[in-house]
Every structure is written in C-alpha cells, then in structure tokens.
C-alpha cells in the first residue's frame, strides 16, 4: 500500500531563497465607524417598515513593500416615510501580506478573497451598531465577492474590446 501525504511545492532559488507564493490577512480592524440616529426617539414610534439601502465599496492601498491595506466600506441608510431611521457607515480594514504572487493573482486576492475573509467580521460590527442604536440587529446577507470580482473583470474586458473595435472603425 502506497503512503499518501501532503505535497508541498517549495520553489527555492539556488541561493536558498523561498519563492513560494503566499498571501494572507495579518491583522484586521475597524478603521472608521459612524452611527447616526437623527430622529430618535420619535423613530421608535413609527409604524411603517423602513427601507434599507446598502452600499459596498472595496479599496486596496499599498502600505509598504509586500503589505497592502484592504478597506471594506459599508454604508447603510434606513428610511421610513416619516424620515431617516438610521445611517451607519463602516470602514473595516485588513492588513494584507503578499509575497511572490503574479499581478493577476495579487489583484484577485486584494479585491475578492480579502473582502470575503473580512466580511463576516464587518457584518458583526454592523449588527452590533444597529442593535446599539436601539433596533433589532441587522444580519447582512452573505456576498459572493469572487463572483462580483469576475463580473467586473469581464465587464472591463468587454468595454476595452468595444473601445478597441470603435477605434478601428
């Protein structure tokens, strides 16, 4: 019977330097949190169900060398007929380390995988903030960051192709 084991591909140069691609979240933190409850205490008496507008934005910024900061920005705006119920803005960030990744893989990690890892923690902060504002905790639905990323890449490629064809016409 043959033994099976983990096969690890360590790419080492002749000088012994490890060139194995690596990426991960080194730390995560609330960078900015704003909770507005402009119509309290009157809003607690409103009978109509509020509408909720949820906006997401992802930003990645080089920090130093192999380090990047990924920011997951979430804005919630809850409105009823009588006015604004609450506004919550959260910037939840993670410090990402990457080494020996091809540019395409690094970009995908920064804009798809890192937000996927950060989201559950940001979701908890949002739920607590809504609860602390005096409302039932809000659990945001899971988000397919990889699917959104692939859609945006495909849309950018289609736009570039359309612009290229327009330039040849």
Render each residue's pLDDT in the chain as its tens digit; 169 residues: 444 444 444 455 555 566 788 899 999 999 999 999 999 999 999 999 899 999 999 999 999 989 999 999 999 999 999 999 999 999 999 999 999 888 889 999 999 999 999 999 999 999 999 999 999 889 999 999 999 999 998 998 888 888 877 665 5
Phi first, then psi: what are they for 128, rounded to 5°?
A: -65, -40
Cα–Cα dist 89/35, whole Å: 7
Instruction: Say if 163 falls within a structural domain.
Output: no
Q: Is residue 76 part of a domain?
A: yes
The pTM assigned to this predicted structure is: 0.81
The pLDDT of residue 17 is 65
Q: Please state, in angstroms and rounded to a whole number, the distance separating the CA atoms of residues 138 and 131.
A: 8
pLDDT value, residue 14: 58
Q: Output the pLDDT for position 56.
A: 94
Q: Within 13 Å, how many C-alpha atoms sit on residue 63's CB side? A: 16
Residue 50: inside a domain = yes
Cis status, amide bond into 41, omega within 30 of 0: yes
What whole-number distance in Å separates Cα of residue 132 and Cα of residue 114?
27
* Number of Cβ atoms within 10 Å of the Cβ of 71: 19
Q: Is residue 167 part of a domain?
A: no
User: For residue 95, is it within any domain?
Assistant: yes
Which CATH number belongs to the domain containing residue 90 in this structure? 3.10.420.10
Answer whether 133's CB lies under 8 Å from 88's CB.
yes
52 φ/ψ angles, rounded to the nearest 5 degrees: -120, 125
Kindly state whether residue 7 falls inside one of the protein's structural domains. Answer: no
For residue 94, being part of any structural domain is answered with yes
pLDDT reported for residue 2: 44
Count of structural domains, the chain: 1
Give me the pLDDT at residue 137, please.
Answer: 87
Structural domain including 54 reads 22-157
């Amino acid at each position: 019977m043959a033994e099976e084991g983990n096969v690890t591909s360590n790419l080492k140069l002749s000088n012994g330097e490890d060139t194995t691609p690596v990426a991960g979240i080194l730390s995560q933190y609330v960078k900015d949190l704003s909770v507005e409850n402009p119509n309290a205490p009157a809003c607690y008496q409103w009978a109509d169900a509020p509408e909720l507008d949820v906006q997401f934005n992802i930003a990645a910024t080089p920090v130093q060398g192999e380090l990047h900061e990924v920011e997951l920005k979430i804005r919630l705006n809850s409105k009823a007929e009588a006015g604004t119920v609450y506004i919550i803005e959260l910037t939840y960030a993670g410090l990402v380390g990457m080494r020996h990744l091809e540019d395409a893989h690094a970009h995908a990690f920064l804009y798809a995988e890192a937000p996927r890892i950060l989201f559950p923690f940001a979701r908890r902060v949002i739920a607590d903030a809504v609860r602390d504002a005096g409302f039932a905790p809000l659990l945001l639905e899971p988000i397919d960051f990889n699917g959104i990323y692939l859609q945006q890449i495909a849309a950018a490629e289609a736009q570039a192709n359309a612009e290229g064809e327009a330039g040849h016409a």
